Structure 1
């Protein structure tokens, strides 16, 4: 979780205000919407790691609560602190055991943790691609993301949070295969 949140934070640190309206590989999100989505994901992840509900609606047109009142040009700089807090919360081994909540829905923590790890890594990649920033995924993190995405991909497609699978060679790096399963073309460029 720490590696995924740190990697997403590097992409966020590279966002410039003039890039906020740039398209991303993530469906209908531009950079601004993707930054806000990562903000909500950080908050959701923090709550899930501690078994606390998140009753606010991340699909609303309102930004994540910690961004409320912050100029949109400063959002990307505000999110890494929240990603760091989420990684700290998941560092506790107990966070990965038993039941937790995803929003207000009870789920096994062993499912939610990998889901949040993939959320940070994949959306960090989306953001990096959109702004032309580097995004070097270590092999171990790529394997962890692939292991998280593989069992979730059918549910993700059914739920609309993953697009149709993109064919990726079987010998491609694990992270590229995870991207393909999540409906991303690893070769996508802005």
Structure 2
């Protein structure tokens, strides 16, 4: 049986994000990120909570909040990424549109983390191409509060750079 495309997309995004988080330690949480006004601690807490909400959505089962007081946001991020990948419903037609949302959230914030750590970790072309194809439906006209305005980027740039630029990041 072939792997579900939504499951494969989420798995690939989680793998990329976990690789991007490889050098992330609690002592780096005060570093600035590409997300305006957020430090790494805020970004990790946001990502961990987003992952919990995505997992609740696809499983229909309430989950405990990821960033409870006293919990390490770095550990929460890693744990929740793995939980999301394990919980993703293979073959669930209703979850396929959500796969692009989940994969975009995970991969782009994985890139944000790597960038904040000074790591050059480009998004894999195959992952970025799939997310770039889904991006117009995700971004639509309602960017306010979700994404920064797009930045100009060469149309012949790698797909990861074009995706990041579309979502308001300066990948270069």
Q: Same fold (TM over 0.5)?
A: yes
Equivalent residue number for residue 137 of structure 1: 123
Equivalent position to 1:183, from 151, 168, 171: 168
C-alpha distance 89-6 of structure 1, shift in aligned 2 (>3 A) = same
Residue 17 of structure 1 is matched in structure 2 by: 26
- How far apart, CA to CA, are the structure 2 residues paired with 1:51 and 1:65? 15
* 2:6 aligned residue: none
- What is the TM-score normalised by the length of structure 2? 0.84
Q: 1:100-119 residue pairs with structure 2 within 5 A?
A: 109-119=95-105
Look up the SS of the partner of 1:66 in the other structure.
Answer: coil
1:26 to 35, 39, 52: 35
1:166 paired residue number: 151
Contact 1:11 1:128 in 2 (8 A): yes
Counterpart position of 1:49: 58
- Matched residue, 2:7: none
The structure where strand makes up a greater share of residues is 1
Unaligned runs of 5+ residues in structure 1 are 55-63, 99-108
- Contact 1:150/1:181 (CA < 8 Å) preserved in 2? no
Which 5+ residue runs of structure 2 have no aligned equivalent? 1-9
2:44 maps to 35
What secondary structure sits across from 1:23 in the alignment? Answer: coil
In structure 1, how many angstroms separate the alpha carbons of the residues matched to 2:129 and 2:136? 11
Structure 2 CA distance for partners of 1:130 and 1:156, relative to 1, 3 Å = farther
Cα deviation for residue 139 of structure 1 reads 1.4
C-alpha distance in structure 2 between counterparts of 1:156 and 1:70, whole Å: 35
